[in-house]
Structure 1
Amino acid sequence: MRFLTRSLRGLLIMALTLGLLGTAVLLVAQALSVRATQTGPARAPSERMYAADVLTLEFRDLTPQMTAYGEIRSTRRLEVRASGSGRIIALSPDFKDGARVAQGDVLVRLDPAQYRAARDSARASVSDAQSALAEAERALVITNDDLEAARRQASLRQRAFERQRDLNTRGLGSAVTTEEAELAASSADQAVLGKRAALSLARSTRDQSQIALERAEIDLREADRVLAETEIRAGFQGILSQVAAVEGGLVSDNEMLAELIDPNALEVVFRVSTTQFVRLTDPDGALRPLSAEVRLQSASGEIRSDATLVRVGAAVEAGVAGRLIFARLDAPQGFRPGDFATVIVQEPTLDRVARLPAQAVNGNAELLALGPEDRLRTVQAEVLRREGDTILVRADVAPDTEVVARRTPLLGDGIRLRPIRSGDQGAASDVPRGTPAQAVEDAALRDNRNHPAMVTLTPAHRARLKAQLEAAKNLSPARKSQIAQELEATRVPAATLAQIAPMAGG
């Protein structure tokens, strides 16, 4: 009996326990169901707006600038070479790399002994030639006089022959006498011919002596020139380079001793593409004399000089594209041959173009223009030039049209925009994620000035507030949920934000 009573008591306790557990489960389920069904008042969906910088298209005549890189070269260079072989006996104190010399300065002196001996020998040859010429001229005078005497004698013999023939005709003379007179006249004529041949020979000897004298004088002048060139002088005012001579050294004929460069006759040579070259030519294909600016970076600053395009390379090297352009420097002070400089060429002026950031267009050369109700529309543009981070465009739009300065994947045709203008005090409140942090902070700050009772949150500020809310220990889950929903809004009441820090303990 006692066993039965204890069994019934145990069953009763078990039933009560199971009942209480079922009741608890039911209450928890009802509480969760009620909490799930308790939602805030439904908000009407609003259109998402994006913030972006806009610029006003200002069409005007602009001069594009073409940037290239080239090498400075000298247009006036002189190789200082030895005209003959010999020993260097003296060097100028300024005969050094980088030294500046004046025109006519003696740079190098070679040993003149052998060249002076050659000059003296040439001078003696001239004296011999002069003596031979004088002798030939005297012989010519004598031969000429001898010819005149022979002619007079031939004339007398001829008259004697004619007189004897006349006497013979009148019967006063004999045939033998006449024949003898005729033979004498013939001999006199033969003598005249011999004297004429002698005169011709004398004249030839005189001419040959004259030629020999001229040759001797040429040799003397050449000897004087070679002797003078033992003193090597600067051909013009300039700077020495590649100096390779020492006092006492032996040099060979035509050996290069240094190079003289004119620092005031410099040009820059740079390469451009074929497309860029076409922009620099006139309708006839000739290079325009356009202005340019040459810049050279240095530790102490930047060296600049104006330049003018002067000519184009005659041929294109194998394996190289484009064209070589030469520009003359107007103020070459500070530049040196071999410098690598930046060249900025002023291209011909373009009419009715606008300058925009390069990010304002996409790959299809399309702009996003601001239309009615601040909605974006696509505008086709023509990209005429690209200059670093900017472009020059031409588009068929009305004047003062506003366009997006920097396109992003979030912006497109039909999107409503909250424009950010230069100097504008307004800001975009609904800033999407992914916008640059600095732009978001600036937009939030401008919006807070316009709405003191409401605070526009940036993504970073919202994240900090959520972290503080999670760390709060004296808030109920329901209150935390309510504040979390308020933090998801674009603008949050300032009073709510003022409560979060004290609730989070700091």
Structure 2
Amino acid sequence: MRFLRKSLTGLFLLSLTFGLLAYAGVLVRDAVQVRMNEEPRVPRARERVFTVNVVPVVFETVVPELSAFGEVQSRRTLELRAATGGALIDLDPAFVEGGQVEAGQLLARIDPADAQAAFERAESDLLDAQAEQREAQRAIVIARDELTAAEDQVALREQALKRQNDLLERRVGTAAAVEAAELTLSSARQSVLTRRQAVATAEARIDQSATRLRRAEIALDEAQRRLDDTEIRAEFSGTLSDVTVVAGRLVSANERLAQLVDPRSLEVAFRVSTQQYARLLDSDGRLRAAPVTVTLDVFGTNITAQGQLSRDGAAVGEGQTGRLLFADLDSPRGFKPGDFVTVTIDEPELPFVARLPATAVDAASQVLVVGEEERLETVDVQVMRRQGDDVLIRARALDGALVVAERTPLLGTGIKVRPLGAEAAEAAPEPPAMVELSDERRARLVAFVQGNSRMPDEVKTRILAQLEQPEVPAEMVARFESRMGG
């Protein structure tokens, strides 16, 4: 009996399974037949409308800005070199990297022992030359006096000879006396010649002493310069850089010790294209003294200085293009030589131009304008300047028109759009209406929210916080009350 009962139960379950499978097959067959007998529904084709951002075209007079990158450099940079060799002594404490020095300040001294000894020898030679000159001047005075005495002797001898000749004519004197007088006169005249030679020698000695004195003075000046060369002084006020020496070091002649930079006399050198350079010239072809703004970006903190164009490079340079320009900085506070900066120059103003985003103009200098029935039209424009992410364009009959700000491959002529922008933006939505709840009404809403098991906990917390406010959005209250059936 037990086996029979289990067998009958199995047969019953098997029959029930086959019956359910047959019923399911009938349902699937009926559904497929109904689906196949239905008429196909073709959706009505609708024109696709794109939403685009537009900007109005407003023509005005704009001052374009030319941007370039340049390097700050000092207009006065001096290399400090040793004029002579020796050991460095008396090194100034400011003679270090970044040291601030004043004009004429003694920075270091090279051991002046040899130069001092040469200077003192030159002084001694000068004293000898001066003494020689004084002695030559005294000698010429004596020589001239001796010449005068010799000439007086000649005059006396001539009178004596004349007297002897008179005596001989009166037959009082003798011929021997006359001959003796003539011999004495000849000797006196020979003495005059000797004295004249002495005077000439004394005059030559004066010239030689003057030459020797001049040479001694030159030698002394040269010794003084060599002594001065042992001192290293600052030619102007500035900052020291590239210092390579310490006290006691032996240096050679013409060795570079440091570099002196004037931090208050700075300029910026930058390169622009030839086309940009042509826009900076005046009617005479000379570079305009245009105002310049130099900006140094230091991790988001900008250091700015004003200046003006001063000059341009004489040549393009091998392997270079464009033009090299220089601008003087008025107050270069915070700038250092070697800074990489951004240079902005004000160009001559452009009348009747409009500023548009760069994405509004394609490579063919065309823009998309919202025309009649809000359909796009292609209009040619003239690109005057590119200013960062903007362009300055000039076109006819576009004043006040709406131009697509961002072009995409999906946009083209004849496409219908819905413009969004400064002039075509929809009105801002009004704030939701608020209502004040009574205590009974507020309690019912709170109980409904707390009893809703399908609502997430974070949503419940947010809604309960809103219900605790004096005023509650009317839309939320209406939605909950409709669910509550009240």
Cα distance in structure 1, aligned partners of 2:355 and 2:176:
127
3-state DSSP class of the match of 1:222? Answer: helix
2:144 matches 1:144? yes
Match of 1:35 in 2: 38
Match of 1:132 in 2: 132
Match of 2:218 in 1: 218
Count of residues in Structure 1 that have an aligned counterpart in Structure 2:
407
**CA 1:24 to 1:234, structure 2 compared with 1: closer, same or farther past 3 Å?**
closer
Cα distance in structure 2, aligned partners of 1:260 and 1:297:
26
2:70 matches 1:70? yes
Cα distance in structure 2, aligned partners of 1:316 and 1:31:
86
What percentage of aligned pairs have identical amino acids?
Answer: 46
Match of 2:240 in 1: 240
| Offset of residue 136 of structure 1 | 0.8
Cα distance in structure 2, aligned partners of 1:199 and 1:67:
84
Match of 2:364 in 1: 364
Cα distance in structure 2, aligned partners of 1:161 and 1:365:
126
Cα distance in structure 2, aligned partners of 1:58 and 1:175:
137
Match of 1:350 in 2: 350
2:310 matches 1:310? yes
Greater Cα offset, 389-398 or 144-153: 144-153
**CA 1:196 to 1:396, structure 2 compared with 1: closer, same or farther past 3 Å?**
farther
Using structure 2 for the length normalisation, give the TM-score.
Answer: 0.74
Match of 1:480 in 2: none
| Offset of residue 124 of structure 1 | 0.8
3-state DSSP class of the match of 1:201? Answer: helix
3-state DSSP class of the match of 2:128? Answer: helix
Cα distance in structure 2, aligned partners of 1:160 and 1:61:
117
Cα distance in structure 2, aligned partners of 1:382 and 1:165:
127
CA deviations 1:128-186 (Å, max 9, x no partner) are 11111111111111122223333334445556667777888999988887787777666
**CA 1:149 to 1:46, structure 2 compared with 1: closer, same or farther past 3 Å?**
same
**CA 1:24 to 1:213, structure 2 compared with 1: closer, same or farther past 3 Å?**
closer
What letter matches 1:411 in structure 2? Answer: L
**CA 1:26 to 1:223, structure 2 compared with 1: closer, same or farther past 3 Å?**
closer
Match of 2:206 in 1: 206
Match of 1:55 in 2: 55
Cα distance in structure 1, aligned partners of 2:164 and 2:365:
126
Cα distance in structure 2, aligned partners of 1:50 and 1:105:
75
Superposed, which structure 2 residues align to 1:43-192 within 5 Å?
43=44, 47-157=47-157, 191-192=191-192
Cα distance in structure 1, aligned partners of 2:152 and 2:315:
79
Cα distance in structure 1, aligned partners of 2:233 and 2:309:
34
Cα distance in structure 2, aligned partners of 1:219 and 1:159:
56
Cα distance in structure 2, aligned partners of 1:156 and 1:367:
126
Match of 1:289 in 2: 289
| Offset of residue 248 of structure 1 | 1.6
Q: Is the 2:71–2:269 contact (alpha carbons within 8 Å) kept by the matching residues of 1?
A: yes
3-state DSSP class of the match of 1:341? Answer: strand
What letter matches 1:36 in structure 2? Answer: E
| Offset of residue 100 of structure 1 | 1.3
3-state DSSP class of the match of 2:296? Answer: strand
Using structure 1 for the length normalisation, give the TM-score.
Answer: 0.71
**CA 1:160 to 1:406, structure 2 compared with 1: closer, same or farther past 3 Å?**
farther
What letter matches 1:108 in structure 2? Answer: A
3-state DSSP class of the match of 2:73? Answer: strand
**CA 1:35 to 1:98, structure 2 compared with 1: closer, same or farther past 3 Å?**
same
Match of 1:384 in 2: 384
Match of 1:489 in 2: none
What letter matches 2:76 in structure 1? Answer: R
| Offset of residue 358 of structure 1 | 0.8
Cα distance in structure 1, aligned partners of 2:219 and 2:234:
26
Match of 1:329 in 2: 329
Q: What is the root-mean-square deviation in Å for CA atoms of aligned residues? A: 3.3
| Offset of residue 49 of structure 1 | 3.2
| Offset of residue 339 of structure 1 | 1.4
2:406 matches 1:406? yes
Cα distance in structure 2, aligned partners of 1:369 and 1:86:
81
